[in-house]
Amino acid sequence: MGKYIAKRVAFGVLTIFVVATLTFFLMNMVPGEPFTSDKLSAQAQQLILEKYGLDRPVGE
């Protein structure tokens, strides 16, 4: 019974990791910026990107 539970937990952790990784890469492949809007000025958009660290490369 313990072996079955360990196998199910390991498979669940692996599934969550795969889903999170796929979501991350798919969201980075989508064109455009998350804060692109006609209502915000270019300066305001740049400040928001800097605040949330979206102006830095993915590796950072």
Is residue 38 a part of any domain in this protein? yes
Q: How far apart are CA 7 and CA 17, in angstroms?
A: 15
Domain count within the chain: 1
Is residue 59 a part of any domain in this protein? no
Is residue 58 a part of any domain in this protein? no
Q: Which residue has the higher pLDDT, 56 or 19?
A: 19
Range of 4-8, 27-31, 52-56 with top mean pLDDT? 4-8
The pTM for the full model equals: 0.55
Q: How far apart are CA 21 and CA 18, in angstroms?
A: 5
pLDDT at 9: 97
pLDDT at 37: 66
Residues contacting residue 53 through CB under 8 Å, at least 6 positions apart = 60
Domain that holds residue 6: 2-51
Residue range 11-33, pLDDT digits in tens: 999 999 999 999 989 888 877 76
